[in-house]
């Protein structure tokens, strides 16, 4: 495991003082429950906050206005680019999943994106340095101004062009307490092809549209 983690650290561009933090960042709750150890869930929370701050900070240095910065940040920290970064890192090869967890069910786009945030959290806890987090983040994420904010339009245009049917969204509240949280499912002629989550209905629908668009384009519209 040490040799493997050495290779991962080389790819990350950061060498840990406490290798246990990196192991925790790669530990799914199923493994933690079975082995009585800490999962990566708390690191994900920390990493998500750091990621959003550092991306916002970098965008603030640009000439974009507030609305453009909001769109650019949403694009940069959305699930797909984070998941692709994790794939590029090869971090999925080092995940610690429980015996009872089926890998293909847990390693979704959301799960992969969470891992990237966990790695950010681990780097910060090990270094206590935002500079180290900044180096890691922007080595794998790009702020080129391209946004995936308009996936609903992309999906609609694609479906119309391929004459696949009628696009419909079913969005409902799934949050409890004071914090609103929504889940949206997008379907074509009654067949669900994508789902998404967000703190607002529009965000959940955009997330669902992105998943549906990516699914259709990767499967030739089938």
**Catalytic residue from among 44, 114, 117, 185:** 117
How many CA atoms, within 13 angstroms, populate the side-chain half-sphere of residue 195?
A: 8
Contact criterion met (CB below 8 Å) for 95 and 29: no
Query: Among 28, 20, 197, which Cα is nearest to 103's?
Result: 28
Q: Specify the DSSP element, H or E, that contains 172.
A: strand 167-173
Residue pointed to by tokens 């994508």: 194
Query: Strand pairing partners for 96?
Result: 27
**Catalytic residue status for 48:** yes
**Catalytic residue status for 114:** no
Q: Please state whether beta strands 182-188 and 167-173 pair in parallel, antiparallel, or not at all (unpaired).
A: antiparallel
CA-CA distance, 163 to 143, in Å (whole number)? 34
**Catalytic residue from among 48, 126, 205, 211:** 48
The CA distances from residue 33 to 20, 99, 102, 106, 213, in Å, are 17, 10, 15, 15, 35
CA-CA distance, 81 to 107, in Å (whole number)? 15
Q: Specify the DSSP element, H or E, that contains 155.
A: helix 151-162
> Active-site residues: which are they?
48, 117
């Amino acid at each position: 495991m040490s040799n493997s983690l050495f290779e991962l650290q080389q790819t990350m561009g950061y060498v840990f003082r406490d290798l246990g933090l990196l192991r925790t960042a790669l530990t799914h709750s199923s493994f933690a429950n079975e082995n009585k150890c800490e999962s990566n869930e708390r690191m994900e929370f920390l990493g998500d906050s750091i990621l959003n701050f550092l991306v916002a900070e970098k965008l603030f240095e640009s000439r974009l206005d507030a609305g453009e910065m909001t769109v650019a940040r949403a694009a940069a920290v959305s699930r797909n680019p984070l998941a692709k970064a994790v794939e590029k890192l090869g971090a999925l090869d080092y995940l610690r999943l429980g015996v009872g967890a089926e890998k293909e069910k847990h390693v979704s786009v959301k799960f992969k994106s969470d891992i990237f945030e966990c790695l950010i959290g681990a780097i910060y806890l090990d270094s206590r340095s935002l500079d180290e987090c900044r180096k890691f983040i922007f080595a794998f994420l790009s702020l080129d101004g391209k946004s995936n904010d308009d996936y609903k339009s992309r999906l609609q245009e694609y479906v119309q062009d391929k004459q696949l049917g009628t696009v419909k969204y079913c969005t409902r509240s799934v949050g409890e307490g004071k914090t609103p949280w929504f889940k949206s499912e997008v379907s074509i002629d009654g067949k669900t092809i994508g789902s998404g989550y967000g703190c607002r209905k529009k965000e959940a629908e955009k997330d669902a549209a992105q998943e549906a668009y990516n699914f259709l384009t990767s499967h030739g519209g089938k």
